[in-house]
Amino acid sequence: MPLKITLKPHERMILAGAAITNGNTTANLIIENRVPILRKTDVMREENASTPARRIYFVIQLMYLDPENRISYQGRYDEFVQAFVSAVPSSRTLIDEIHGHVNNEQYYVALKTTQKLIKYEAQILAGGKPSKNKE
């Protein structure tokens, strides 16, 4: 089933490893095959992977956008996840959900779930009591 993406003027995205920037007008793209796609708002630069949860996000992003080298990222992913769970045992449910998506090669869904982990981590780092790790 094709995916329709509407890009606003000057909006950026990554499509199958290529950085795309839209021109001056709105553009509609129809993606007819399965390729990795991330809008600019979902792309994390390496220098922004500054916390444990953000490092997990970044390495999953690499796995998603660079399928030819996916295996080379797996060790870093495993290391980051294990360290996170050791430091924050209350994150186990959310980590298990992320890990399930990664194991099923559902990297985009894993990224969206990892955004919840980043919010959870932010609550902990702020010294507040985190809400249930589903949000």
What pLDDT digit, counting tens, does each position of 84-107 carry? Answer: 999 999 999 999 999 999 999 999
Rounded Cα–Cα distance for residues 87 and 16 (Å): 35
Instruction: Please state the domain extents for the chain.
Output: 3-41, 44-125
Amino acid type, 103: N
Entry pTM: 0.87
Q: Residues 29-44: pLDDT tens digits?
A: 999 988 999 999 999 9
